[in-house]
Amino acid sequence: MSTTTIRLSDELKARLAEAAQAEGVTAHAFIVDAIRLRTAQSEARRDFVQEAQHRLAEMDRTGLAVPWDEARRYLVARAAGQKAARPRARKLKR
């Protein structure tokens, strides 16, 4: 395990101490958890963008896509717990 030094303004350090105390953890644990969460968010966003780029390239290669209005209807119905026919990809005009 390595050590990293960070410089905090007095105001931020006070806010950190208050937030950590409110959560019942040390300032160190609070900082480590914040870094872990932010790193996970960054990795998830990177993975999302890579997947989107891959799917766009596949759509460009095949010419197949699902129109947004059909995809949206399907997703809204599923989110509401309803059964919905999965929309089919087809050639779309660009």
pLDDT digit string (tens) for 18-76? 999 999 999 999 999 999 999 999 999 999 999 999 999 999 999 999 999 999 999 99
Interatomic CA distance for residues 71 and 86, integer angstroms: 8
Cα torsion 46, 49, 55, 58 to 10°: value is -90
In the predicted structure, residue 92 carries a pLDDT above the cut 90 = no
First to last CA, the chain: 53
Token pair recorded at residue 53: 């780029």
**pLDDT of 81:** 97
CA distances for 76 relative to 22, 39, 48, 69, 92, angstroms? 38, 30, 21, 10, 22
| Whole-prediction pTM | 0.72
